[in-house]
Amino acid sequence: MSGLVPPPAGIRRALQVPWWFVAVPLGLYVAVVIYPSLAGALYAFTDWSGIGAFRWIGLANFRAVMIDDEATSSLGNTVVLALSTTLIQNLVGLSLALALNRRTRLNSVLRPLFLAPALLAPVVVGVIWQYVYAPEGALNAILSLLHLDGLRRPWLGLADTAIWSVAITVVWQFVGITMVIYIAGLQAIAPELHEAAAIDGSGALRRFRDITLPLLAPAITVNVLLPFIGGLKLFDQILVMTAGGPGYATQTVALMIYRQAFTFGAFAYSTALAVVLTVLVAVAAMIQLAVLRRREMPA
């Protein structure tokens, strides 16, 4: 039987937060986020060009999205980037967390170092890496130093390397956050569990598989969900590093939304794309959350 005894009704009442406390922030959220989003989404059913009058055209914009090669290719790029960055970020982030989990002086220096790029604006990161990947940039210079001149190439100028170059940049920037979340998860695991398993003869790999991983499930949920949603919305780094090129090789849905609205003046079509992206993000997030939550257990 639990030793917890509920407090008396009077104290419970005193501790209760009045419902109207939430009214102001909720009202603000509805006014600033919900209402403009829904009102904006209505333009997806019009032919509005961003200026002047418009008329209702039903689902025509959504039908156009479905048969637009550029939209399909942008969607493909977006999914590739979201999946690859999520996967690599988690593998590298977890490895770093395992390596830096112990409290040592070196680790207390390395942890903030790995986290630092996350504090930079994505645009700044894009500009920095643009120089790294330039034909005369740092990466090619390093390859030359290592006598690997055959590997030198214009990384952002080739369709088959540009998207992976961007993915690595994104991972570099955000892997520190993933690492920190995993370290928090690792430190919540009681060391006694590992000690008991070790006494029972479990090796390090077995302990990682049977103790660490299951108990890290909440951290995994967060670390899969956040980078994946971030990957689906990727915009700044792409705009700065490749502007979606060469051709459309790195164009994401977010970049296409921007271009349709502000370069072409196709606000309605752009809004339809934004609605599709929103639905995609929401569905992906719900599926991930449902699957990952099922694996979670209390530490």
Partner 1 sequence: MRERHNPSWRQVLGATVFAMAAIGSAGAARAQGTTLTLMFLGSYQAANEQAIAGFQKENPDIAVKASYTAEPQSIRALFTTGNAPDIPMVYPGDGSAIAVKQLARAGLLEDLSGEAWAKSVSPSFIQSVTFQDKVYVLPTGYSYITMYANDEVMKSVGAAVPRNFADLLAFCDKAKATTIPMAFGLKEQLPVLFPGYALAASTAFADNARFAEDQAAGKASFSTGYRASMEMYLQMRDHGCFSKDASGNSNDDALRQVAGGKAALYVGVINYLPLIMKYNPDARIIQVPFPGNADVAKVRLPLGPTPGYGISAQSKNKAAAKKFIAYLQRPEVNRAWATAAAQLAGADIDAAPQTPGNSEAIREFLVAKRTVLYLDRAWPNARIQPVYMAGVQQLFAGQTTIDALLKRLDDTYALGAQ
254 phi and psi, to 5 degrees? -60, -40
**Contact with partner 1 (CB under 8 A) among 1, 51, 67, 205:** 51
What is the DSSP track for 76-132? HHHHHHHHHHHHHHHHHHHHHHHHH-S--HHHHHHHHHHHGGGGS-HHHHHHHHHHH
**Contact with partner 1 (CB under 8 A) among 60, 62, 153, 211:** 153
Q: Would you say 173 or 260 has its CB closer to partner 1?
A: 260
**Contact criterion met (CB below 8 Å) for 152 and 141:** no
Q: Rule CB under 8 A: is residue 203 a binding residue for partner 1?
A: no
Q: What does the block give as tokens for 26?
A: 């909720």
Nearest one of 8, 208, 191, 23 to 98, comparing CA atoms: 208
CB of 277 to partner 1, least distance (A): 20
Q: Taking CB under 8 A as the criterion, which residues in 253-292 touch partner 1?
A: 259, 262-267
Residue 215, SS3? helix
Q: Rule CB under 8 A: is residue 129 a binding residue for partner 1?
A: no
**Contact criterion met (CB below 8 Å) for 244 and 251:** yes
Q: Rule CB under 8 A: is residue 248 a binding residue for partner 1?
A: yes
**Contact criterion met (CB below 8 Å) for 170 and 77:** no
Alpha-carbon span 160 to 168, nearest angstrom: 14
The residue range among 59-67, 77-85, 154-162, 285-293 that interacts with partner 1, by the rule CB under 8 A, is: 154-162
**Contact with partner 1 (CB under 8 A) among 45, 114, 129, 133:** 133
Q: Rule CB under 8 A: is residue 39 a binding residue for partner 1?
A: no
CB of 56 to partner 1, least distance (A): 17
CB of 79 to partner 1, least distance (A): 19
Q: Rule CB under 8 A: is residue 35 a binding residue for partner 1?
A: no
Alpha-carbon span 99 to 220, nearest angstrom: 17
Q: Rule CB under 8 A: is residue 7 a binding residue for partner 1?
A: no
Alpha-carbon span 84 to 90, nearest angstrom: 10
**Contact with partner 1 (CB under 8 A) among 26, 109, 247, 279:** 247
Q: Point out which residues bind partner 1 (CB under 8 A).
A: 49-52, 133-136, 153-159, 242-249, 259, 262-267
